[in-house]
């Protein structure tokens, strides 16, 4: 009874769902929202920017440069720059994560689009597809696997990065880490790590599943 | 803006053990102390796996796991378990998180080398290790450097967060500033960390220019064979 165990299971049971702010289940919901929004918003922003970079190639070099710089900035100082504007709110964490997502997804969109063989595009034109229909039914569909690969990276890293927000009190499950540190009590840290890794694996698995569903031709080729 | 001027013009911030020069040096020390061991482990391993093709699964799994692991949680847990008597416990997660990006990119770089090129090297009578050192490494160098750059980004960010669990370095200004509501310190520290990260980026861009063979980076167009 003298040694503190790595995990106190009764603590987890007592704090899982207390109905109050800070219970594990409410942190889990916060975490899903705070990591999910940047993934969705990042994709919505990266698609038009990426497509513009494909259409006007000279845009790509400067855009990629800016994105490289954004990606290199550590999250904590970026949260701090936003603090005077957004205060201690979820937005302070969601906005930078969205920018990181865009930085990863733009190259994915551009690579996916430029990898489409020219004869496929020409066939689509020859079959009478107008530019919009060609984009939606041919180009974007074929670029999907590369974009989804980028999205997997974004999803997993967003889910783990949200926890840094705990240093300004907005970290979803990351709040368990600061809690553990303040009380010199390892259980919350273990629970937080386990749930975040599990969440990342679930998100990654869901995207792999989505990719398989959306690219039936790849499955046919593999089994043939 | 006023906060920035206040922070940088305060002479107390320029001297002593919590002065900017000392903190900057600490940050550089931690970054190198994490990056060097990580590179010494990951580059040879990546070369080996890429060259022999064995153990590729380790690379993929480690890359995914490293991305999913929350750095702050790892730091807190290891400090709670091992204490902060020395810097070593804090350095462990920094090294562990720096390995996967280097490993993955080294592996991908070697694996992605054109097979014709590899065959030509063997055809000219080079042996396995010679092919690796003289042909594969120079051609894969841009990706190896990319891996090191991504690892450096990761380490600089994690070292900043590690100030929360008592590590020195530039993150101290942010963490201590937050604790005492000293916003000039928070913003000043943030600018320093951002500048440090961008300087690292610049250094790697320079290394890319100097080390990568002009033929590989396509800075020089090779003559067309007719």
pLDDT class for B133, splitting at 50, 70, 90? confident
Instruction: Say what the pLDDT of residue B222 is.
Output: 52
> For chain B, how many residues are written?
226
Mean pLDDT to the nearest integer, A60-65: 91
Please judge whether B81 and A76 are an interchain contact, meaning their C-beta atoms are less than 8 angstroms apart. no
Residue of B nearest to A175 (CA): B73
Give the model confidence (pLDDT) of B35-54 as tens digits.
Answer: 999 999 999 999 999 888 88
Mutate which: B4, B60, B65, B76, vs A, most A CBs within 10 A: B76
The domain spanning residue B206 has which CATH number? 1.10.3720.10
- Please calculate the CA angle A123-A50-A68 and round it to the nearest 5 degrees: 140
- Which structural domain, as residue segments, surrounds residue B192? 21-215
Any idea where the domains of chain A sit in the sequence?
A: 22-223
What is the share, in percent, of chain B residues with pLDDT greater than 90? 47
Mean pLDDT to the nearest integer, B47-75: 87
Rg over CA atoms, chain B: 21
Residue B222 maps to a domain: no
Please judge whether A160 and B71 are an interchain contact, meaning their C-beta atoms are less than 8 angstroms apart. yes
ipTM of the complex: 0.87
Could you tell me if B73 lies within 8 Å of chain A, comparing CB atoms? yes
CB pairs under 8 A between A and B: 125
Instruction: Tell whether the model's pLDDT for residue A166 goes beyond 80.
Output: yes
Give the model confidence (pLDDT) of A89-142 as tens digits.
Answer: 899 999 999 999 999 999 999 999 999 999 998 999 999 999 899 998 999 999
As for how many domains chain B has, the answer is: 1
pLDDT class for B218, splitting at 50, 70, 90? low
Instruction: Say what the pLDDT of residue A32 is.
Output: 95
Q: Does domain A22-223 have CATH number 1.10.3720.10?
A: yes
Mutate which: B72, B78, B182, vs A, most A CBs within 10 A: B72
Instruction: Say what the pLDDT of residue B32 is.
Output: 94
Residue B223 maps to a domain: no
Higher pLDDT, A134 or A3: A134
């Amino acid at each position: 009874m003298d040694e503190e165990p790595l995990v106190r299971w009764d603590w987890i049971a007592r704090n899982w769902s207390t109905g109050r702010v800070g219970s594990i289940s409410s942190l889990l919901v916060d975490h899903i929202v705070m990591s999910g929004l940047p993934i969705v918003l990042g994709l919505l922003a990266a698609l038009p920017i990426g497509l513009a970079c494909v259409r006007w190639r000279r845009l790509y070099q400067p855009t990629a440069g800016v994105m490289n710089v954004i990606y290199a900035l550590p999250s904590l100082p970026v949260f701090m720059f936003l603090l005077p504007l957004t205060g201690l709110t979820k937005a302070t964490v969601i906005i930078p994560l969205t920018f990181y997502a865009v930085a990863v997804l733009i190259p994915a969109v551009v690579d996916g689009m430029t990898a489409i063989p020219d004869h496929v595009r020409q066939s689509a034109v020859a079959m009478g597809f107008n530019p919009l229909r060609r984009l939606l039914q041919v180009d974007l569909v074929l670029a999907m696997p590369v974009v989804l690969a980028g999205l997997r990276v974004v999803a997993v890293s967003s889910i783990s990065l949200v926890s840094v927000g705990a240093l300004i009190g907005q970290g979803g499950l990351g709040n368990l880490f600061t809690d553990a540190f303040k009380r010199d009590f390892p259980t919350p840290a273990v629970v937080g790590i386990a749930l975040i890794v599990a969440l990342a694996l679930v998100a990654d698995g869901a995207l792999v599943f989505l990719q398989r569903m959306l690219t039936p031709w790849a499955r046919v080729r593999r089994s043939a | 803006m006023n906060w920035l001027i206040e922070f940088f013009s305060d002479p107390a911030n320029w001297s002593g053990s919590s002065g900017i020069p000392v903190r900057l040096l600490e940050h550089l020390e931690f970054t190198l102390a994490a990056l060097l061991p990580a590179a010494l482990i990951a580059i040879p391993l990546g070369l080996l796996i890429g060259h022999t093709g064995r153990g590729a699964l380790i690379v993929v799994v480690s890359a995914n796991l490293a991305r999913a692991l929350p750095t702050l949680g790892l730091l807190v847990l290891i400090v709670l378990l091992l204490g902060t008597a020395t810097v070593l416990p804090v350095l462990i997660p920094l090294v562990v998180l720096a390995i996967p990006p280097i490993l993955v990119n080294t592996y991908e770089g070697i694996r992605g080398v054109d097979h014709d090129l590899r065959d030509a090297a063997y055809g000219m009578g080079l042996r396995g290790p010679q092919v690796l050192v003289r042909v594969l490494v120079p051609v894969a160098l841009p990706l190896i450097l990319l891996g090191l750059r991504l690892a450096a980004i990761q380490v600089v960010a994690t070292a900043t967060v590690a100030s929360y669990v008592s590590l020195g370095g530039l993150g101290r200004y942010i963490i201590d500033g937050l604790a005492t509501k000293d916003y000039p310190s928070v913003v000043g520290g943030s600018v320093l960390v951002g500048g440090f990260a961008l300087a690292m980026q610049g250094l790697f861009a320079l290394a890319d220019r100097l080390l990568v063979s002009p033929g590989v980076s396509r800075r020089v167009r090779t003559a067309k064979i007719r």
